Structure 1
């Protein structure tokens, strides 16, 4: 499951500075399939693929048992041979959300919302772990999202020339970081509706820092989400069909809603998977 890469801001999406410098953002996943019903083999073609069907039945069971406070269920695929793995790949397909976490961890939501394919590679680049995870978002990605990041921002005593609106925004961010927790709504700062200079954006980007996670979500149009180097602070950007930014926000939250599988979607995924498996019973 290769995921290509692109820049978080497309060329020309922000005006260059007078000295020729440009805002540079971490590489993002490039493209992914939008939803399409999987093309599945006929019943007689899977008669010897009991291992794959058993895994998929177990995934259906995890979907049935999932609830808001449940830990993600993990189903290891390392024991499957090529033919069984091919069937799992066909059933899962590729859905709306792609994730890169550091150099060794990738996740792809399947066509079944809340069912994720999570792969980790070793230092040699070879596949080290291949699992299906059932839950709102891959747990390993979330656990590593802010690993090594600062827990708070130290506000500077002076600001560079051209920085006007960044200082109050930074104070607002600092005020909300300690509040993040279960049941707390995300705090969203809509930069698209606020006056700001190019210097404000550069300063915010430099001070917040760069994180480990890059996400592409097509569930609500073309949305690209990245972690910063500051705990629980995310950049969330929406793009139009010409790759121009139409909404630029900073979210202070444990996980932006746009990349989280909703409970009703998880329930719908169980029904769809049961319908698929019903054809093979």
Structure 2
């Protein structure tokens, strides 16, 4: 079987390998907790969370897909408030990590309400240095991490056994040079033409590994990894047996499978206001 462009190494981050169907539905778990007596007591004493929810809903009401998001700092919130926020927001489909400067890592988890993210920043020793809830299509940390990547690629001659890697690299280089933010993405699908193991190895060696890894767990798992070149992403879809069924490179700002759309913000606003009305008033 032909190897994919990017294959999760042994011991990869749990967000990249969590099995599908291992837990009950996220929405059910969130609502079940909020309906318990323990949650009622927590809600009574966690007034900062109660104040935060309408602010998040207001931000969702005006958020645009192509505009910068809004950060809500919860770093200094009491532990009970942070736990209640986590239980209320739940865990949605998209999660990931972004490596920033000075050894700082951003750990990101989308809420059940699409377009709402929990973003935790840790230092090189794993210590928490900042904790935010962010309303955005994608956390700003993703774009920040990618901003330092080079906007061109270079390579030597193809290795023995290569078939199509040089035309692919030429296409990638041309697309990078012509890409502007907001342009439609360009997709290269490896199943549409033959790529030998030597091709794939040389392609991966040339592009390198980038600082962002994301996973979308919808109907099936999708792993999204930025390469070492600006706006070049490996996007792979897996079946229930964790076998690659679609292996692509996308030349784009952020692959659409990872980002919240305009309609998501309006839907999430409505759902968050319903939760606030039912449990926090």
Q: TM-score, normalised by structure 1?
A: 0.86
| CA distance, structure 2, for counterparts of residue 123 and residue 23 of structure 1 | 25
Counterpart in the other structure of 2:206: 207
Once superposed, which parts of structure 1, at least 4 consecutive aligned residues long, lie more than 2 Å away? Answer: 12-15, 22-30, 32-37, 41-45, 178-183
- Backbone CA RMSD of aligned residues: 2.2
Counterpart in the other structure of 2:225: 226
Confirm whether residue 14 of structure 1 aligns to residue 3 of structure 2: yes
| CA distance, structure 2, for counterparts of residue 67 and residue 24 of structure 1 | 34
**How many Å apart are 1:122 and its aligned residue?**
1.9
| CA distance, structure 1, for counterparts of residue 182 and residue 128 of structure 2 | 36
Secondary structure of 1:211's aligned partner: strand
Confirm whether residue 150 of structure 1 aligns to residue 150 of structure 2: yes
**How many Å apart are 1:178 and its aligned residue?**
2.2
Counterpart in the other structure of 1:40: 34
| CA distance, structure 2, for counterparts of residue 23 and residue 79 of structure 1 | 38
**How many Å apart are 1:35 and its aligned residue?**
3.9
**How many Å apart are 1:13 and its aligned residue?**
6.7
| CA distance, structure 2, for counterparts of residue 91 and residue 139 of structure 1 | 22
Structure 2 portions without partners, runs of 5+:
none
Counterpart in the other structure of 1:62: 59
**How many Å apart are 1:24 and its aligned residue?**
6.1
Counterpart in the other structure of 1:9: none
**How many Å apart are 1:36 and its aligned residue?**
2.3
Counterpart in the other structure of 1:85: 82
Counterpart in the other structure of 1:76: 73
- Greater helix fraction, Structure 1 or Structure 2: 2
Identify which range, 63-72 or 260-269, moves more after superposition.
63-72
Structure 1 portions without partners, runs of 5+:
1-11, 16-21
The answer to whether the 8 A contact 1:214-1:227 is kept is yes
**How many Å apart are 1:23 and its aligned residue?**
7.7
Alignment of 1:219-258 (within 5 A): 219-258=218-257
Secondary structure of 1:250's aligned partner: strand
Higher relative contact order (Cα pairs below 8 Å, separated by 6+ residues): 2
Counterpart in the other structure of 1:275: 274
Q: TM-score, normalised by structure 2?
A: 0.86
Alignment of 1:61-210 (within 5 A): 61-102=58-99, 104-147=105-148, 149-156=149-156, 158-210=157-209
| CA distance, structure 1, for counterparts of residue 219 and residue 241 of structure 2 | 16
Secondary structure of 2:27's aligned partner: coil
